């Protein structure tokens, strides 16, 4: 079954322009929690416009198969996206990102037989580029998913000869790519293209294996940029301007985000990707300290909070795991009802993806004005009576400033140690992903309340209301 074009090229270009503008406005909206939902809707509208335009402007074949594939994909993706927990959102992003890269690679492979003619060399160049980058993104995203889902160790995975193997794989990939571009179309070039795809998959796995668990969100962002570049290159292969524009936007934004996240951790992207070879990448830890700390109960913590003038709440991944954001919001409201100034301090890499804490707290209807980024709130800790740290560790660990050689040394942190009193809500003394102790836990102004973050917050909330 073949569908003929319904609209002419002028209307096609105009609709593609509308879709491209929607994508740009979506990125702008996503830059702020206040406008993120609207930005997401605008981006979805752009995708719908683009999809409809393809159907109206192209002479498509196999329409039933195309519609069937769309239906199957929607039937799988919609329930998964609706049911996924916020703590599992990074895994979902990794999967979606990997699927995009894999799709671009498969499209390029299928277009190889059509890359003949006078411009065939340039087209084959775009094809091999898309094959390699798309395959790296797909396989790397699969490994990041496995690490975040704890299907494999979150520690850096290295072995003797890994750099040499990585170099050999990349060299073989370049040779295969050069052969596909240089040789005329034949069964040999098709076979080499498949080999290139396989080498890209291996390279993607080897690229991500040495990365420690705390750095995986940054790698997801980097692979997202790879996928955008692959999609842009596939747009060149297909002669589709909108794919070039959309892929370039994703590639550019992913690159910028990667650099910003790396800067927030005080390290270069190169160090994050290859630091494990020098023993400097962050890694998960299972060790638990037995050093004495000052612990307390919910009632004592409630007294500290209830009679303070200013409280700063520092959310972390533990809050997300416990799904305690609504209880944290209720506690903030109860304190504000007593005339206490309450703010939330957001570290750029708190949680497991950029904006994780912002989205989590926005879901609990915490006012956007109460969410303060690290750069604007760090100076306020000195005037803070109580800093309440809920499930965060590495982002407040003073070792980032005081311990050269530490996995997090140089990473900007939230200066909670400057507050008059610090209360940590922790499940145990197990360290964060960096695998190092937090000396702030042993300071005289620090109190620990052990237990599930949501349960502890609920007990503190009840005690505050009873004051």
Q: What pLDDT, on a 0 to 100 scale, did the predictor assign at position 284?
A: 44
Q: What pLDDT, on a 0 to 100 scale, did the predictor assign at position 435?
A: 65
In the DSSP assignment, the letter for residue 172 is H
Give me the count of residues in the chain: 467
Residue 234's nearest CA partner among 221, 244, 220, 249 is: 244
Please, what sign has the CA dihedral across residues 449, 324, 217, 37? Answer: negative
CA dihedral 149, 154, 160, 163 (to 10 degrees): 80
Q: What pLDDT, on a 0 to 100 scale, did the predictor assign at position 108?
A: 92
Task: At 419, list the tokens.
Answer: 């507050």
User: Is 394 marked active-site?
Assistant: yes
> Catalytic: which of 394, 418, 452, 455?
394
Contact between residue 109 and residue 131 where contact means Cβ atoms under 8 Å apart: yes
Tell me how far apart the alpha carbons of residues 264 and 410 are, in angstroms, rounded to a whole number.
9
Q: What pLDDT, on a 0 to 100 scale, did the predictor assign at position 283?
A: 45
Give CA separation, 261 vs 27, 138, 362, in Å.
17, 21, 21
Q: What pLDDT, on a 0 to 100 scale, did the predictor assign at position 289?
A: 59
Tell me how far apart the alpha carbons of residues 198 and 213 are, in angstroms, rounded to a whole number.
26
Q: What pLDDT, on a 0 to 100 scale, did the predictor assign at position 88?
A: 74
Contact between residue 197 and residue 109 where contact means Cβ atoms under 8 Å apart: yes
- Any alpha helices (H) in 149-215, and if so which ranges? 162-182, 187-208
3 state DSSP class of 413: coil
Residues 6+ apart with CB under 8 A from 279: none
Q: At what angle do helices 120-148 and 187-208 cross, to 10 degrees?
A: 30
Q: What pLDDT, on a 0 to 100 scale, did the predictor assign at position 290?
A: 63
Contact between residue 370 and residue 406 where contact means Cβ atoms under 8 Å apart: no
Tell me how far apart the alpha carbons of residues 137 and 316 are, in angstroms, rounded to a whole number.
28
Contact between residue 116 and residue 181 where contact means Cβ atoms under 8 Å apart: no
Tell me how far apart the alpha carbons of residues 311 and 77 are, in angstroms, rounded to a whole number.
41
Q: Are strands 2-3 and 60-61 parallel, antiparallel or unpaired?
A: antiparallel
pTM metric for this prediction: 0.78
Residue-wise DSSP of 91-137: HHHHHHHHHHHHHHHHHHHHHGGG--STTHHHHHHHHHHHHHHHHHH
- Cβ-based burial of 18 (10 A; exposed 0-12, middle 13-18, buried ≥19): middle
Tell me how far apart the alpha carbons of residues 227 and 115 are, in angstroms, rounded to a whole number.
22
Q: What pLDDT, on a 0 to 100 scale, did the predictor assign at position 411?
A: 79
Q: What pLDDT, on a 0 to 100 scale, did the predictor assign at position 279?
A: 47
Tell me how far apart the alpha carbons of residues 123 and 234 are, in angstroms, rounded to a whole number.
10
Q: At what angle do helices 162-182 and 120-148 cross, to 10 degrees?
A: 150
In the DSSP assignment, the letter for residue 465 is H
Other CB atoms within 10 A of residue 195 CB: 18
pLDDT tens for the chain, 467 residues long, are 555 567 778 888 899 999 999 999 998 887 776 777 888 899 999 999 998 998 888 777 788 888 898 899 889 888 888 887 766 777 888 888 899 999 999 999 999 988 877 677 788 999 999 999 999 999 999 998 888 787 887 677 888 888 899 999 999 999 999 999 988 888 888 999 999 999 999 999 999 888 876 677 788 888 999 999 999 999 988 888 889 999 999 999 888 888 877 777 666 777 777 665 554 444 444 455 566 778 889 999 999 999 999 999 999 888 888 888 999 999 999 999 999 999 999 988 777 666 778 878 888 888 888 889 888 999 999 999 999 999 888 888 888 787 776 767 777 889 999 999 999 998 877 766 666 778 888 888 999 999 988 999 999 999 999 88
């Amino acid at each position: 079954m073949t569908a003929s074009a319904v609209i002419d090229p002028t209307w096609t270009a105009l609709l593609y322009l509308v879709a491209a503008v929607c994508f740009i406005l979506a990125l702008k909206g996503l830059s702020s929690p206040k406008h993120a939902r609207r930005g997401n809707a605008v981006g979805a509208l752009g995708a719908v416009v683009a999809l409809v335009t393809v159907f109206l402007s192209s002479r498509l074949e196999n329409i039933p198969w195309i519609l069937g594939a769309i239906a199957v994909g929607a039937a799988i993706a919609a329930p998964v996206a609706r049911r996924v927990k916020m703590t599992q959102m990074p895994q979902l992003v990794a999967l979606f990102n990997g699927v995009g890269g894999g799709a671009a690679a498969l499209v390029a492979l299928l277009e190889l037989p059509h890359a003949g003619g006078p411009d065939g060399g340039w087209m084959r160049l775009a094809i091999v580029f898309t094959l390699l980058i798309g395959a790296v993104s797909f396989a790397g995203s699969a490994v990041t998913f496995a690490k975040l889902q704890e299907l494999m160790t979150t520690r850096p995975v290295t072995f003797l000869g890994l750099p040499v193997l990585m170099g050999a794989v990349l060299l073989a990939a370049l040779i295969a790519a050069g052969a596909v571009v240089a040789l005329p179309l034949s069964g040999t070039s098709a076979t080499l293209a498949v080999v290139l795809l396989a080498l890209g998959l291996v390279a993607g796995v080897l690229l991500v294996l040495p990365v420690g668990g705390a750095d995986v969100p940054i790698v997801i962002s980097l692979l997202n940029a790879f996928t955008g570049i692959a999609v842009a290159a596939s747009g060149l292969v297909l002669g589709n301007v909108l794919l070039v524009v959309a892929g370039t936007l994703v590639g550019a934004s992913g690159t910028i985000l990667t650099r910003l996240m790396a800067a927030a951790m005080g390290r270069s992207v190169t160090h994050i990707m290859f630091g494990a070879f020098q023993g400097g990448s962050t890694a998960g830890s299972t060790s638990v300290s037995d050093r004495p700390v000052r612990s307390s109960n919910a009632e004592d913590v409630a007294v500290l909070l209830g009679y303070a003038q200013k409280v700063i709440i520092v959310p972390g991944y533990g809050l997300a795991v416990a799904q305690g954001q609504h209880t944290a919001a209720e506690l903030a409201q109860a304190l504000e009802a007593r005339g206490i100034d309450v703010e939330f301090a957001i570290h750029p890499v708190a949680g497991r993806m950029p904006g994780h804490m912002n989205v989590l707290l926005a879901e609990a209807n915490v006012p956007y004005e109460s969410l303060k980024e690290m750069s604007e709130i760090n100076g306020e800790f000195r005037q803070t009576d109580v800093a309440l740290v809920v499930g965060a560790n590495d982002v407040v660990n003073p070792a980032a400033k005081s311990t050269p050689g530490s996995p997090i040394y140089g990473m900007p942190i939230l200066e909670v140690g400057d507050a008059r009193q610090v209360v940590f809500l922790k499940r145990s003394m197990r360290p964060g992903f960096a695998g190092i102790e937090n000396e702030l836990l042993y300071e005289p102004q620090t109190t620990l309340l052990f237990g599930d973050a949501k349960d502890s917050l609920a007990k503190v909330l009840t005690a505050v209301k009873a004051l």
